[in-house]
């Protein structure tokens, strides 16, 4: 069981490619963001334009002395190859994002999944410090998790571990965008909350609109109660499997504070009659956790020679595919 040291990312640039915004920062010798920028993600203008915007964000911040660039993005991410295998919201498929940036900046470039990056930041700088078994659930437009088990960030057999949002909770429940029914994401993600609330005949633009009405609007209370109960049930499933020491909730919906954590804790404990529930807390890292994690991940490349197009992380080698005689 190992715990990573608490280290801030020094002399690196990070770029967080999101569905609506590209965020970037350069971290100084103390690991403080000394220059930041934001660009709208030009997803409607094709994948080449999205890649060009990421390259632009990175090159705008790289200065002499920057040792590496860390990228993070949503979707199916091949960290070893630095390739976005598939990101539906960005129109990217088999896109060699790290190599594209490396060609422009001439320092090592890494690529990590955005939620795993946020989990890495939590593990090294947030509520995960010293915690060997951690679950970080990012509640946003969608819903995904980073898993640390026995001190290691889990990637899974095909690199897509942590698709927490697609844990089926309700038999024959709401149809999810993934094609399955009853997924936690179809109840608890911000988009699902708004959709389910509108179905009651009310209007809302965001999850915050709904949480602002919890004391006065029974429809808002009901949709919120179903969302938090569903999340608690999925957390119980995950806890039974992995025995988390701590669960950290992150993302925009955590602005609801105890309105979120109190009912989630109750639902989680109801699902764990025979054992104590792990602590459920809200991340202190805010909206830039992914960016910070991408910067930390870039540090894993700083012992590699500069100017390399692709950087391999220190992942264990996969066993060879068995052959049948």
Which residues contact Zn ion (rule: CB under 5 A)? 166, 176, 178, 180, 183
Closer of 112 and 174 to Zn ion (Cβ): 174
Shortest distance (Å) from residue 200 CB to Zn ion: 22
Closer of 176 and 292 to Zn ion (Cβ): 176
Locate tokens 């009912």: which residue? 263
Shortest distance (Å) from residue 194 CB to Zn ion: 17
Shortest distance (Å) from residue 185 CB to Zn ion: 5
Q: How far apart are CA 165 and CA 162, in angstroms?
A: 8
Q: What are phi and psi of 24, to 5 degrees?
A: -145, 155
Shortest distance (Å) from residue 191 CB to Zn ion: 12
First to last CA, the chain: 38
The answer to whether the beta carbons of residues 108 and 304 sit under 8 Å apart is: yes
The residue among 82, 65, 81 whose CA lies nearest residue 73 is 82
Closer of 43 and 187 to Zn ion (Cβ): 187
Locate tokens 């909770």: which residue? 169
Closer of 112 and 185 to Zn ion (Cβ): 185
CA dihedral 204, 208, 214, 215 (to 10 degrees): -110
Shortest distance (Å) from residue 239 CB to Zn ion: 20
Closer of 73 and 183 to Zn ion (Cβ): 183
Q: How far apart are CA 144 and CA 114, in angstroms?
A: 10
Closer of 186 and 301 to Zn ion (Cβ): 186
Shortest distance (Å) from residue 180 CB to Zn ion: 5
Please write down the HEC assignment for all residues of 116-172: HHHHHHHHHHCCCCCCCCEEEEEECCCEEEEEEECCEECCCCCCCCCCHHHCECCCC
């Amino acid at each position: 069981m190992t715990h990573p040291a608490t280290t801030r990312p020094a002399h690196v640039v990070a770029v967080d490619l999101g569905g609506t915004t590209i965020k970037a920062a350069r971290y100084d010798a103390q690991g403080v963001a000394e220059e930041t920028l934001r660009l709208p993600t030009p997803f409607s203008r094709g994948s080449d334009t999205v890649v060009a915007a990421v390259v632009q964000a990175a090159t705008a911040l790289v200065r002499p002395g920057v040792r590496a660039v860390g990228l993070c993005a949503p979707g199916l991410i091949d960290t070893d190859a630095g390739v976005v295998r598939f990101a539906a919201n960005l129109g990217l498929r088999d896109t060699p994002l790290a190599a594209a940036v490396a060609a422009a900046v001439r320092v090592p470039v890494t690529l990590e999944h955005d939620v795993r990056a946020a989990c890495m930041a939590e593990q090294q700088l947030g509520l995960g410090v010293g915690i060997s078994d951690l679950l970080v659930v990012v509640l946003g437009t969608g819903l995904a998790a980073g898993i640390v088990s026995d001190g290691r960030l889990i990637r899974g057999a095909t690199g897509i571990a942590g698709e927490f949002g697609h844990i089926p909770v309700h038999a024959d429940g709401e149809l999810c965008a993934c094609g399955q029914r009853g997924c936690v994401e179809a109840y608890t993600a911000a988009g699902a909350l708004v959709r389910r609330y509108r179905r009651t005949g009310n209007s809302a633009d965001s999850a915050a609109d709904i949480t602002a009405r919890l004391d006065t609007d029974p429809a808002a209370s009901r949709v919120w109660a179903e969302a938090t109960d569903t999340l608690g049930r999925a957390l119980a499933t995950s806890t039974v499997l992995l025995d988390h020491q701590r669960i950290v909730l992150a993302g925009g919906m955590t602005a609801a504070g105890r309105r979120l954590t109190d009912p989630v804790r109750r639902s989680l404990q109801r699902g764990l009659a025979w054992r104590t529930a792990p602590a459920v807390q809200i991340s202190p890292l805010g909206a830039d956790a992914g960016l910070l994690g991408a910067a930390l991940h870039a540090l894993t490349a700083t012992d590699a020679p500069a100017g390399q197009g692709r950087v391999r992380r220190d992942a264990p080698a996969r066993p060879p595919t068995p052959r049948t005689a």
